[in-house]
């Protein structure tokens, strides 16, 4: 394992946000489009030129932004303004994952727009990915350890319960929970 000299480690993890500014500057230099001011703790990402965030976005430690097909010039992960992504989330985009404004995402959330083919006549590893965009509209709150699967649209101001597995779209102002997630009530009367 490669260890940085402790003074470099301090600069990268500085509590003043200096480390965040360095990370964001590096991502921008690699092609990411990132609004201002944003705060990124140490995260992992691939193909930064396919990542775009709005203003006032905070992404916590351990989160992975993974546009996996690598077609330069096409933004696959799009995050709106005033978005908070908690610890150790994984956003996997083969086609497009779009997150609206004022969205809160709890820790360990998994969001993907694809899955593997299911043709029983051939090996799974040789089958092409099946892709459909994921859209999370404004004002959504996603609880810890929820999974949002391909082709799902989560409507404005919806709430996704902790541990839910969302396989179908959720209407605006719905509270959805369970495996698979189902609407259990509205966010207001």
Secondary structure percentages of the chain, helix, strand, coil, to 5: 15, 30, 55
68 is annotated as an active-site residue? no
Confidence (pLDDT) at 179: 93
Which of 55, 68, 82, 116 is the catalytic position? 116
Domains and their CATH numbers in the chain: 6-143 (2.160.10.10)
Which pLDDT does position 72 carry in this prediction?
57
The model's pTM: 0.86
Residue-level pLDDT at 180: 94
| pLDDT for residue 166 | 98
Per-residue confidence (pLDDT) for residue 16, from 0 to 100: 53
Question: Is the C-alpha dihedral spanning 44, 160, 145, 20 positive or negative?
Answer: positive
Mean pLDDT by 10 residues, the chain (189 residues): 48 63 90 92 90 94 86 82 96 94 97 86 81 96 97 97 96 95 84
> What is the predicted pLDDT for the residue at 105?
97
């Amino acid at each position: 394992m490669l260890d940085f000299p402790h003074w470099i480690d301090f600069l990268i993890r500085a509590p003043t946000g200096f480390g965040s500014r360095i990370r964001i500057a590096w991502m921008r230099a690699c092609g990411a489009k990132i609004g201002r001011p944003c705060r990124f703790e140490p995260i992992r990402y691939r193909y930064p030129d396919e990542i775009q965030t709005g203003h006032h976005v905070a992404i916590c430690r351990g989160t992975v932004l993974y546009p996996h097909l690598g077609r330069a010039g096409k933004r696959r992960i799009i995050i709106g303004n005033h978005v908070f992504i908690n610890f150790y989330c994984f956003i996997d985009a083969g086609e497009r994952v779009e997150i609206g404004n004022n969205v809160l995402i709890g820790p360990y959330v998994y969001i993907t727009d694809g899955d593997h083919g299911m043709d029983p006549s051939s090996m799974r590893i040789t089958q092409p990915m099946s892709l459909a965009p994921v859209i999370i509209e404004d004002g959504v709150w996603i609880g810890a350890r929820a999974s949002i699967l391909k082709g799902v649209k989560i409507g404005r101001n919806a709430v996704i319960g902790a541990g839910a597995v969302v396989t179908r779209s959720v209407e605006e102002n719905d509270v959805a929970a369970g495996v698979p997630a189902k609407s259990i009530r509205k966010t207001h009367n």
